[in-house]
Chain A
């Protein structure tokens, strides 16, 4: 059932939300995708008479602050943190009648792409539990893919919605920078952070953005632009649409099966009337893309998380002095990956390194974004596989971090964060019984164009309301 149908089915709201709450708990031993379950009873008693998401069960990534409900951001240091206010999107969802049933697992502080670093352990892929969900919004992706909820909130700083969406066979939307308020979202890297979400159809993705988008004075990066009526504007007619195949990514793809699947899809989009061309970014910029991201993200994160000290909030460890309390709290509170990233971020922020590293990365960011705008002068959309392969196995660490396959094919979606472009993953096909997605990136605030193209992909593949049967 689509979200719009659920919202109209007022009589079924209670049963539907209770069933989602029960299903999430039943699947938890197999998927480990929830950090905190939220009993829907209280929310059901206060449902509005109508709303675009009335009686629709949803999940929130656990970096979304929920008043009175524990919010850990996947980190041990925030294991006991109970916010005193709601994120903007929590109020928006409640006003539309959505019912939160779970706070979903995530990589610690959203800093990861595997969902193996949450303090409560890894999230398992519902299509094959020996494989990872991808991250950092892995819990949210899995709750949607396994049919528990039709929509879950995620956040995306590099590709943290779009990559797990690809690995889990769902739609993953990262709208334009500023389209959805970030007030009340525990940050990672402020200039790259976006709030977004997962659904199992483009139709639902349109409804969700209509509910979530809009100006919020409490987020100084929130856009003043009016919010279009995305569901009403949804149109999959491709005549007149120009799509650029991301040539560097296709050239770097190590897996011929993914390449063939992608090229077959391009042929079908062309048959439906789209004009397909290709766009090639400068090779030196593509190779510099990952270090650019890594530096900007880690430098900003190091500054953002200096407030996690165990004294004002969070889990406090004993110590003989204030400094010792902070050091002990942060040592025990952060996992090894986070501490490593903070060290690298701090290195990049040293006065003597700022120009050479941090500022340099910000300049390269501009060059990459300028090239993307060159593409968007001629094309409505930049398209590429969302990942080079299906979800890796949980114990797989065999990646050459200097290969083109890794530097370009696995990390290209960060361009959407550099430029604030709307970008989403849509299921494209299956390999070895596991899904893989295609990524579409469009001009800023042209989400309607993106949804129309995504709808065409969905009609071609038939992957609407795709749900994993968890064995």
Chain B
């Protein structure tokens, strides 16, 4: 049986995505999901038998295997330039083993 799409369901889903929802936000998603559900019936109504999914607009090849040469190097300082808490070249996080 399909799980009920209530506020608690969407709060659990949000936690998997690493954020919280307020009660009002979760209720809002429940309502929006109802509209979305009705829109999705319009999607379901389209016959896609034998149709390949379209992932990108064009089939023409634009990617390539580059030469194995060092390029676009950034320094450690640059890599850590936007880190809020850092120490001696590392990210600082709470201790895992207490």
Interface residues of A (CB under 8 A from B): 80-82, 84-85, 177-178, 191, 217-218, 220-224, 284-285, 287-288, 290-292, 294-295, 302, 309-316, 319-323, 325-327, 330-331, 334, 336, 339-340, 342-344, 346-347, 357, 359-367, 369, 401-402, 407, 417-420, 444
Within the complex, what minimum Cβ distance (angstroms) separates A418 from chain B?
7
Is there contact, CB below 8 Å, between A291 and B18? no
Are B39 and A369 in contact, CB atoms less than 8 angstroms apart? no
Q: Quick one: closest B residue to A309, CB to CB?
A: B18
* Chain B interface extent, by class: 35 or more
Chain B residues with Cβ below 8 Å from A323 are 18
Report the minimum CB–CB distance from B37 to chain A (whole Å): 10
Known: A221-B56, A343-B17. A287 touches B42 (CB 8 A): yes
Q: Per DSSP, are chain B's interface residues mostly helix, strand or loop, or mixed? A: loop
A287 to B21, CA, bound (A): 31
CA A217 to CA B69, docked complex, whole Å = 14
Please tell me if the beta carbons of A420 and B57 are within 8 angstroms of each other in the complex: yes
CA distance A340 to B60 in the complex (A): 35
Task: Determine whether the beta carbon of A344 is less than 8 Å from that of B36.
Answer: yes
Chain B hits for A313, CB < 8 A: 82-83
B20 adjacent to chain A (CB < 8 Å): yes
Residues of A within 8 A of B25 (CB): 336, 339-340
Cβ-defined contact, A191 with B57, below 8 A: yes
Residues A326 and B18 in contact in the complex (CB < 8 Å), given A221-B56, A292-B43, A340-B32? yes
Q: In the assembled complex, which residues on chain A have CB atoms less than 8 Å from the CB atom of B14?
A: 339, 342-343
Q: Is the CB of A418 within 8 A of B57?
A: yes
Interface string of B20-62 (1 = CB under 8 A from A): 1100010011001101101110111110100111111110101
**Residues of A contacting B54 with CB < 8 Å?**
362-363, 365-366, 369, 418
Residue in A closest to B14 when the chains form the complex, CB atoms = A343
Residues of A within 8 A of B19 (CB): 327, 330-331, 334, 339, 342
Q: Which residues of chain A come closer than 8 Å to B39, judged between CB atoms?
A: 290-291, 294, 401-402, 407
Nearest opposing residue in chain A for B84, CB measure:
A316
Q: Please tell me if B88 contacts chain A, counting CB pairs below 8 Å.
A: no
- A346 contacts B84, C-beta separation under 8 Å: no
Q: Nearest Cβ distance between residue B24 and chain A, in whole angstroms?
A: 9
CA distance A327 to B84 in the complex (A): 16
- The answer, among A288, A322, A366, for a CB contact under 8 Å with B42, is A288
Whether B17 lies near A366 (C-beta < 8 A) is: no
Nearest-neighbor residue (CB-CB) of A342 within chain B: B17
What is the CA–CA distance of A465 and B78 in the complex, to the nearest angstrom? 42
CB contacts (< 8 Å) of B18 on chain A: these are 309, 323, 326-327, 330
The 10 closest A-B pairs by CB, nearest first: A420-B57, A362-B53, A313-B82, A366-B54, A363-B48, A330-B19, A316-B84, A291-B39, A220-B63, A363-B51
Flag if A82 contacts B17 (CB, 8 Å).
no
Q: How far is the CA of A285 from the CA of B82 in the complex (A)?
A: 45
Contact flags B57-88 to A (C-beta < 8 A → 1, else 0): 11010111010000010100011011111000
A327 adjacent to B20 (CB under 8 Å): yes
- Closest chain A CB from B93 CB (angstroms): 5
Given contact pairs A178-B58, A336-B28, A364 touches B21 in the complex (Cβ within 8 A): no
Contact check, B16 vs A346: say whether CB atoms are below 8 A apart. Answer: yes
Q: Does B8 contact A (CB under 8 A)?
A: no
Which residues of chain A come closer than 8 Å to B62, judged between CB atoms?
178, 220-224
A224 to B83, CA, bound (A): 36
Asked whether, in the complex, the Cβ of A291 is within 8 Å of the Cβ of B35, the reply is: no
Asked if residues B84 and A362 are in contact (CB atoms below 8 Å), the reply is no
B57 touches A218 (CB 8 A): no
Chain A's nearest CB lies how many Å from the CB of B89? Answer: 13
Inter-chain contact A402/B82, CB cutoff 8 Å: no
A163 to chain B, nearest CB (A): 19
Asked if A294 contacts B36 (CB within 8 A), the reply is yes
**What chain B residues lie within 8 Å of A224 (beta carbons)?**
62
Q: How far is the CB of A81 from chain B (nearest CB, A)?
A: 6
Which of the residues A178, A311, A359, A444 comes within 8 Å of B91, measured between beta carbons? A311
- A194→B16 CA distance, assembly (Å): 30
